[in-house]
Structure 1
């Protein structure tokens, strides 16, 4: 059938109603009109055009009404402008900047060309349905971004501060460190602090992804974003509003949506090359047959070229792929995992080795003193000297010793020096005291009982006035899910390695209990860096998981740096690419699975879109496909890809 004899229906892309603003997504390499208000009435021009085209199709096809050309133009031109004025405007403004190879220009040329050959209804239909497709695409992207932000943006607008015996309701940004805030049952904690009430129960789901209530007792840390569940709680503020963990999490999540994966970057570059190529091919479809075909009819070949332009629009790829990564980031956030960029979702799919610190990563980092052994030294006095020196440190081992000596009167400590990877040195009541591992004793040439090197516990050796005085044995507990995490990693064919500053006997014992592949102890921070560099030189794609300040350099060096966000130091959390909010090592496996789910969905969309587009492009060039089929293929593929991407956030792990 000749184009001039067809009833024309053109898929629209001018999907902005009055009041909607142009929104250009430069970061995606894809500009499109913003979705605007979500209610249907806000899109009355598009809806009016849709009603017009549906009524005209019914009259022409079902009732066989015949309209004069003048009457058709009088009906279809207003419908075309109602549905496509934003698309035409954007195409014109971009053309002024010599930017011709974009979807707006393609749709404008295709629909105006359809008008030129008398395919009026097809021109309007293409513009209408293209606009509807763009509307759904924008709505899906907006919802994906909103769901990521809404998941964590739970900071209250005000907090109750106790000042001068009076409760004052103020903005969280006006609260100072040391202030006491009150949080009623059902209210959200506005700032990080220390619980000064005897006890309280909190919902930590927004931070950790865990819905299980967390019971806190006096002196424990409470974080902004937690919800008080059962009784009035008083909290002494320990960090300013802008420095709270929740504020940092929000910044990380917002940054994550702008850091693109390699797939996204490739597709953006691909679209910039692909669009001018298909435009040139469309021109060749129209013009080349003139030299090769004897019964050349310009309108027939122009129609084929227009079909070629409509189906060539790369919307399904350029929109659905970033949407897939938004979905992956959102799914991770729901599970208490923060990816600082879509690129790290891709990195986690390639990891074949996970290297982990011991304390705070595989173990709870909550040490308890098991025994104090004096070597020709009173054990009570030895404990007092050790606790006095360790009171100047914030290391978990130091805190355990101080806690164990709570009933003792501490002495005066001066000139305390922390020797990285070794321990502490200082003056306690005019006596020089060393407290640390056996490396510290070797550094100062102090002789000691060689059995300490093979002891399976964590040992703090003590030296008083250059004489070995004894040791304190301390035990840490494995995290409940540590064994399962290692088992699950092995099931994914991922090797597991432990790096620790603790002595080799302790590291070997923990690694044996967990079933890890390799374990290296007695490592200083620089030794950990060297070990990771050596593993990377073997061709390994590795993730490093840590929590302490000394782990920050290794976290930065790894292909994927993972920080334990609950116990982790600020330096490590800032350096890491991925943050696990509830400190569970099993979340490492979850992060890998989310990366693989996201990758699979993204590649499903790429293959689906490219396969259908190639088929319809060939059919269009061969005169088999019509504009109707082209627009249905284009919009249909885009919507299928969007639905496929959106489902990521509904997956349960």
Structure 2
């Protein structure tokens, strides 16, 4: 039954079959419904419907003498062929592939059987409505796939490069690293690069889901898919076409359907067992009553068996369920959340604990000077200039924060004997006097007396000593993200517990956690400490999502049920290691991802229950002779259409 609702392998033998990439006829959408208009897809059904309508009118109202015998049979055959021939062909092809019990065979037997007992209009009607249902399935799956591709495949085929200061239009894949792209307002960038112009604004919606302009300055990274908004800009290419972030993201989403949810896998296995059982039951319904019913009529029992076959098609299940999951992945992509497979949608739906890193997740990851507390006996401006010069020898974020606060480095200040003391800070000689900049362990190491208690100060502290005297300290802090509070509030509304784990000092971690209302917080942790904390939570049999950078916290990501990476655009490794990638660094996308998982699961189970209940009722009625082909059509095609419409709903939801 699997192949009846899956694609044929293409390009590589390892490509998995999955319905999200194909229609109910086993065709690939990229060469099927995407190349046809709705009119072309419905044309065979329209022709069949008109011939059927005329036939029924001639049969029941006009009743001309000539519409009898072979004329009547040929008329209904002409109505049957446009919709029936493709299905008969697929039935034969599925048998040659080893899939004997496909829905195509069920429909072929049922409709040919109806013709055999003289029920021509019903035979045509069953195949007609089935084919209409298949077209709707094609359109729905095709639309889901097209939505994702249109959201992500924003790469222009051609770009303008500068050669000898002359613009030339070339294919994007032909551009080499180091070449310069000229980007006009309104144009999309074709490759990743570094901005050479002083300033430019970009629309990053294709990558992050955010329509708010993002202003970049000279030296900033700009990515393929971004749209230039105002001035002509120049970008030097830093990454090849196939290795761009957008290419990786697009590949990720296209491959997402290969990771199947347990529900999908169960339905596939179920269909492979269920369909042959139904075929043999239909044979039993037709033949066994001969031995138990005194007035046995073969024609009546054959009709019941044919009705039973039509009802039994598991199309609503094997099509709407993958479509529901595919819609969930598409909904995530539209909101800047990349979910690597439908299995992770199921995990997200059941998350009970969100464990998060602090820096870069709930805070900006950009340190800023909060306070400069120097003793009055020292000239604040002179000390800051010396500290700024010394910190220019470091690439640490703290050094960057001090540089941003103090301004340009004063190169007239001469430093001697510059030394970095690991885990402590920096030491140098200025004007023959010793300058120390680092933590309070550095002060202790050089026996500098100080009159404050560092543990009582929340922020990260930079202690300074000059000429063997304690000058004072600078506090550095990482600001909390604007939507961090909203994130925690939404997680609480979803009954999800929150825990913060960080390598930062405990007082800082506790301050951030208390500010946001995070239930548990632990600081001063090494990577192995984080692993142990997550193990403690998992020991309570609760599902855990870990949110971090996906690289430094790799052991915790691997241990958690689902790893969520913040800032996926900044790290290739993050995109590859995390299960879910939030592209715009907004923590509020964490509860959104969980909500998408919950809504997807709800829709999938609604479809499962709908299909089983309706089919179960009509199967019983059909076996008892109380249901006709018309009820059978509703139980199969009607339920399939309702399930598809329900599955498509998730693509229109607001989260």
CA distance in 1, matches of 2:171, 2:54: 56
Q: Note closer, same or farther for the CA distance 1:508–1:446 as it changes in structure 2 (3 Å cut).
A: farther
Match of 1:27 among 15, 18, 28: 18
Match of 2:137 in 1: 137
Match of 2:50 in 1: 51
Per-residue Cα deviation, 1:99-157 (whole angstroms, up to 9, x for no partner) = 32110111111112112212122212212221121111112111111111111111111
Match of 1:90 in 2: 90
Q: Does 1:582 align with 2:584?
A: yes
Match of 2:390 in 1: 385
Aligned to 2:453, what secondary structure does the other structure show? helix
CA distance in 2, matches of 1:184, 1:38: 34
CA distance in 1, matches of 2:70, 2:202: 71
Match of 1:4 in 2: none
Match of 1:603 in 2: 605
Q: Contact between 1:385 and 1:428, CA under 8 Å: does it hold in 2?
A: no
Match of 2:453 in 1: 451
Per-residue Cα deviation, 1:56-109 (whole angstroms, up to 9, x for no partner) = 012112334463232222222333333222221222233345432110111111
Aligned to 1:366, what secondary structure does the other structure show? strand
Q: Does 1:397 align with 2:395?
A: no
Match of 1:484 among 479, 486, 492: 486
Aligned to 1:99, what secondary structure does the other structure show? coil
CA distance in 1, matches of 2:291, 2:436: 93
1:626 CA displacement: 0.9
Q: Does 1:593 align with 2:595?
A: yes
Aligned to 2:167, what secondary structure does the other structure show? strand
Aligned to 2:258, what secondary structure does the other structure show? coil
Q: Does 1:191 align with 2:184?
A: no
Q: Contact between 2:390 and 2:426, CA under 8 Å: does it hold in 1?
A: no
Aligned to 2:499, what secondary structure does the other structure show? strand
CA distance in 2, matches of 1:413, 1:341: 55
Q: Note closer, same or farther for the CA distance 1:523–1:160 as it changes in structure 2 (3 Å cut).
A: same
1:296 CA displacement: 0.8
Q: Contact between 1:361 and 1:545, CA under 8 Å: does it hold in 2?
A: yes
1:322 CA displacement: 1.0
Q: Note closer, same or farther for the CA distance 1:46–1:458 as it changes in structure 2 (3 Å cut).
A: same
Q: Contact between 1:552 and 1:572, CA under 8 Å: does it hold in 2?
A: no
Q: Contact between 2:568 and 2:581, CA under 8 Å: does it hold in 1?
A: no
Match of 1:508 in 2: 510
Q: Contact between 2:320 and 2:607, CA under 8 Å: does it hold in 1?
A: yes
Of the structure 1 ranges 107-116 and 374-383, higher mean CA displacement relative to structure 2 is found in: 374-383
Q: Residues 46-125 of structure 1 correspond to what in structure 2 (within 5 A)?
A: 46-65=45-64, 67-125=67-125
1:332 CA displacement: 1.4
1:49 CA displacement: 2.5
Match of 1:261 in 2: 261
1:408 CA displacement: 3.5
Q: Contact between 1:547 and 1:568, CA under 8 Å: does it hold in 2?
A: no
Q: Contact between 1:382 and 1:469, CA under 8 Å: does it hold in 2?
A: no
Aligned to 1:607, what secondary structure does the other structure show? helix
Q: Residues 236-255 of structure 1 correspond to what in structure 2 (within 5 A)?
A: 236-255=236-255
Match of 2:345 in 1: 345
Q: Note closer, same or farther for the CA distance 1:98–1:213 as it changes in structure 2 (3 Å cut).
A: closer
Q: Note closer, same or farther for the CA distance 1:468–1:652 as it changes in structure 2 (3 Å cut).
A: same
Match of 1:572 in 2: 574
Per-residue Cα deviation, 1:386-442 (whole angstroms, up to 9, x for no partner) = 330x23x5xx4343345446424497999989x7xx58899999x999987678999
Match of 1:328 in 2: 328
Aligned to 2:18, what secondary structure does the other structure show? helix
Q: Note closer, same or farther for the CA distance 1:491–1:309 as it changes in structure 2 (3 Å cut).
A: same
Q: Note closer, same or farther for the CA distance 1:229–1:610 as it changes in structure 2 (3 Å cut).
A: same
Aligned to 2:518, what secondary structure does the other structure show? coil
Q: Note closer, same or farther for the CA distance 1:184–1:482 as it changes in structure 2 (3 Å cut).
A: same
Match of 2:283 in 1: 283
Q: Contact between 1:372 and 1:383, CA under 8 Å: does it hold in 2?
A: no
Q: Note closer, same or farther for the CA distance 1:426–1:337 as it changes in structure 2 (3 Å cut).
A: farther
Give the length in aligned residue pairs: 623
1:354 CA displacement: 0.7
Q: Note closer, same or farther for the CA distance 1:123–1:472 as it changes in structure 2 (3 Å cut).
A: same
Per-residue Cα deviation, 1:576-624 (whole angstroms, up to 9, x for no partner) = 1111111111111111111111111111111111111111111111111
Q: Contact between 2:191 and 2:223, CA under 8 Å: does it hold in 1?
A: yes
Q: Note closer, same or farther for the CA distance 1:105–1:448 as it changes in structure 2 (3 Å cut).
A: farther
Aligned to 1:563, what secondary structure does the other structure show? strand
Match of 1:616 among 615, 618, 622: 618
Q: Contact between 2:603 and 2:646, CA under 8 Å: does it hold in 1?
A: yes
1:251 CA displacement: 1.3
Q: Note closer, same or farther for the CA distance 1:583–1:302 as it changes in structure 2 (3 Å cut).
A: same
Q: Contact between 1:224 and 1:245, CA under 8 Å: does it hold in 2?
A: yes
CA distance in 2, matches of 1:519, 1:152: 37
Match of 1:473 in 2: 475
Match of 1:126 in 2: 126
CA distance in 1, matches of 2:439, 2:18: 51
Q: Contact between 1:546 and 1:568, CA under 8 Å: does it hold in 2?
A: no
CA distance in 2, matches of 1:290, 1:274: 25
Q: Note closer, same or farther for the CA distance 1:42–1:562 as it changes in structure 2 (3 Å cut).
A: closer
Match of 1:17 in 2: none
Of the structure 1 ranges 172-181 and 256-265, higher mean CA displacement relative to structure 2 is found in: 172-181
CA distance in 1, matches of 2:238, 2:416: 26
Of the structure 1 ranges 473-482 and 195-204, higher mean CA displacement relative to structure 2 is found in: 195-204
TM-score (ref. length: structure 1): 0.87
Of the structure 1 ranges 33-42 and 528-537, higher mean CA displacement relative to structure 2 is found in: 33-42
CA distance in 2, matches of 1:222, 1:59: 69
1:531 CA displacement: 1.8
Per-residue Cα deviation, 1:472-526 (whole angstroms, up to 9, x for no partner) = 5312111111011111111111111111111001111111111110111011222
Aligned to 2:365, what secondary structure does the other structure show? coil
Of the structure 1 ranges 141-150 and 53-62, higher mean CA displacement relative to structure 2 is found in: 53-62
Q: Contact between 2:389 and 2:409, CA under 8 Å: does it hold in 1?
A: no
CA distance in 1, matches of 2:221, 2:472: 34
CA RMSD of aligned residues (A): 3.4
1:310 CA displacement: 0.4
Q: Note closer, same or farther for the CA distance 1:463–1:48 as it changes in structure 2 (3 Å cut).
A: farther
CA distance in 2, matches of 1:267, 1:222: 44
Q: Note closer, same or farther for the CA distance 1:68–1:142 as it changes in structure 2 (3 Å cut).
A: same
CA distance in 2, matches of 1:266, 1:328: 19
CA distance in 2, matches of 1:62, 1:242: 65
Q: Note closer, same or farther for the CA distance 1:180–1:423 as it changes in structure 2 (3 Å cut).
A: farther
Q: Contact between 1:547 and 1:567, CA under 8 Å: does it hold in 2?
A: no
Q: Note closer, same or farther for the CA distance 1:175–1:369 as it changes in structure 2 (3 Å cut).
A: farther
